[in-house]
Structure 1
Amino acid sequence: MGQARSSLGVADLQRLAARGWRAQEEEQLGEWLLRAAGGFTGRANSALVVGDPGLPPAEAVTAVARWYTDRGLAPRAMLPGVQARRADAAFAAAGWERSDTVLMLTAPLGTAPAPAAPVELSPTPDEAWLAAYSGGGALPPAARSVLTSAEDVVFAAVCPSPGPPVAVARGVLTDGWLGVAAVNVDPGHRRQGLATALLDALRGWAVERGGHSVYLQVTEDNAPARELYRRAGLIEQHRYWYRRGPA
């Protein structure tokens, strides 16, 4: 993948990414998007703060807190890029704590190389895929709904023969953009190029469907993953972070 800056601005890319990771319940607050999915992932259980909420900042913060409290969820807001500074100040003034800084990386897809390891692609996640994604732990009931709700989605797995998957990832194609998420490699099989093989397989899948660009999110403190994606040609488009409401 060659390096190039995203053709979408921060707000448009975040709205596109939200379409690829749909919550079970979504509601607009002006241009903000309120999302709830039983607590499964921050993205599906936070207010996407882009644009104008149609209320003064302090009132918008109160409305967000009430919406999540009514659903038995901890209030959370996702604030991307410099456009969110004014709203961020309002959340901070209301006592919401900042956490979890995340980088949004993008790149053109280019020509996808053949994966260095065999990768299986499926339109739905089976129980073995879900177990590999969760690391063997139990996933909440909302997980399958969030993972499968996008229109054009695929689930990638590297499976030894015989045996369950040792590496998995999810891809979704939205308006020509490939979104890569849910990447997990078994600790005993890391540093073997499996994450790169998954990424290459998903790129090939997207190119075959007319995809032109890729985005993914990685936490700021995940140095190994950041280095992996840097080598793959992905560069930072913007950062976002979360604010959590007072208990």
Structure 2
Amino acid sequence: MPGVSTVSYTALVISTIELDELMRRGWPATRETTVDGWLARFSGEVTRRANSVLPFHSPSDLEEAIGRVEELYHCRGLPPTFQIGPATRPSGLDAVLARRGYELRTPTVVLVAAIEEVPHPLSGTGPEIRVRHRPDTTWTELWWEVDGRGGVGSRAIAHEILTGVPALYASREDRHGVAAVGRLALVGSWAGLYCMAVRPDARRRGHASAILRGLLDRAAECGSKYAWLQVTTDNHAARSLYERAGFRQASHYHYRELPTKRFRSG
């Protein structure tokens, strides 16, 4: 596709549109529908990622397609939101949305690595890493405490998203209980890192590095060869950790979100 970049590191070659598809599969929305070539995702306010449009193809009528998107999200009580990146079509969509009053949200970079090239170990010795194929109660409680959004209903939707694709769930304990957790979605030969969370009083003690290493080791045993992750551009601590682990930027995206009041007022 013209204008869609490709990244290559050693044996790793992937296009940005392929990365978008991996990310979609790694964090699956509870419902999806197409709007003239665009993919609209809905998941009850649990993350923008699962409640936004992936504009993979140029619609036949741009204004009509945007209007349809706005109606669909409004009917569900959600702000109309688009995920904008290098593979967005049409290429000028970001500017069109900005003129309509859509606000820029959450600039994010996508990093990738060949798992066999990630340094081992990433950190020193410490408590054992436990890796399971389902999130248990303690895993979910820490993740939701650190990064959760919403009440009981939202938590149920989040669980549906988490378990919508095969994945690994890692946790590490200290004397106070679960200190850190992480999730690795398994999609073909790729593995996607999500839900990295460390208990506030347990930060800067190597837990995140250990969780990352434990997940990648188990993913390699499961046949994964490459890994991807998303991190907001202003999360400098996390970016430093991942760059030390050998991850390099392959893509980027941000969201365009229409404020609810602006949409409802016409």
TM-score by length of 1: 0.90
> Are residue 148 (structure 1) and residue 181 (structure 2) matched?
no
The 8 Å contact of residues 153 and 172 in structure 1, kept in 2 or not, is answered as yes
The alpha carbon displacement at 1:82 in A equals 6.2
Distance 1:78 1:213 in 2: 23
The alpha carbon displacement at 1:246 in A equals 3.5
Distance 2:36 2:192 in 1: 26
Superposition RMSD on alpha carbons, in Å? Answer: 2.0
Which runs of 5 or more structure 1 residues have no equivalent in the other structure?
none
**Which one of 107, 126, 134 corresponds to residue 101 of structure 1?**
107
Distance 1:37 1:83, change over 3 A: closer
1:165 aligns to what SS in structure 2?
Answer: strand
Distance 1:24 1:213 in 2: 26
Within 5 Å, give how 1:57-136 maps onto structure 2. 57-81=62-86, 83=88, 85-110=91-116, 113=120, 116-117=125-126, 118-135=128-145
Which amino acid in the other structure matches residue 145 of structure 2? G
Distance 1:60 1:49 in 2: 10
Distance 1:220 1:155, change over 3 A: same
Which amino acid in the other structure matches residue 195 of structure 1? A
Q: Deviations over 1:135-173 (max 9, x none)?
A: 2665623111111111x2111100236x53110001111
Which amino acid in the other structure matches residue 159 of structure 1? E
**Which one of 221, 239, 261 corresponds to residue 208 of structure 1?**
221
Distance 1:104 1:223 in 2: 14
**Which one of 9, 16, 21 corresponds to residue 15 of structure 1?**
21
Distance 1:90 1:175 in 2: 35
Which runs of 5 or more structure 2 residues have no equivalent in the other structure?
1-7, 261-266
Percent of aligned positions that are identical:
31
Which amino acid in the other structure matches residue 49 of structure 2? R
The alpha carbon displacement at 1:75 in A equals 1.1
> Are residue 25 (structure 1) and residue 31 (structure 2) matched?
yes
The alpha carbon displacement at 1:190 in A equals 1.3
Q: Count the aligned residue pairs.
A: 242
The 8 Å contact of residues 105 and 234 in structure 1, kept in 2 or not, is answered as yes
The 8 Å contact of residues 112 and 247 in structure 2, kept in 1 or not, is answered as yes
Distance 1:31 1:42, change over 3 A: same
Distance 1:44 1:27 in 2: 12
Distance 1:48 1:101 in 2: 15
Distance 1:121 1:153, change over 3 A: same
Which amino acid in the other structure matches residue 93 of structure 1? R
Moved more, 204-213 or 83-92: 83-92
Which amino acid in the other structure matches residue 70 of structure 1? C
Moved more, 108-117 or 20-29: 108-117
Distance 1:55 1:94, change over 3 A: farther
Distance 1:73 1:93, change over 3 A: same
1:81 aligns to what SS in structure 2?
Answer: coil
Tell me which residue corresponds to 1:219.
Answer: 232
The 8 Å contact of residues 115 and 226 in structure 2, kept in 1 or not, is answered as yes
Distance 2:163 2:87 in 1: 31
Distance 1:177 1:67 in 2: 32
1:92 aligns to what SS in structure 2?
Answer: helix
2:92 aligns to what SS in structure 1?
Answer: helix
Q: Deviations over 1:69-119 (max 9, x none)?
A: 111111111111264541212211221111110011111111663674411
Distance 1:229 1:114, change over 3 A: closer
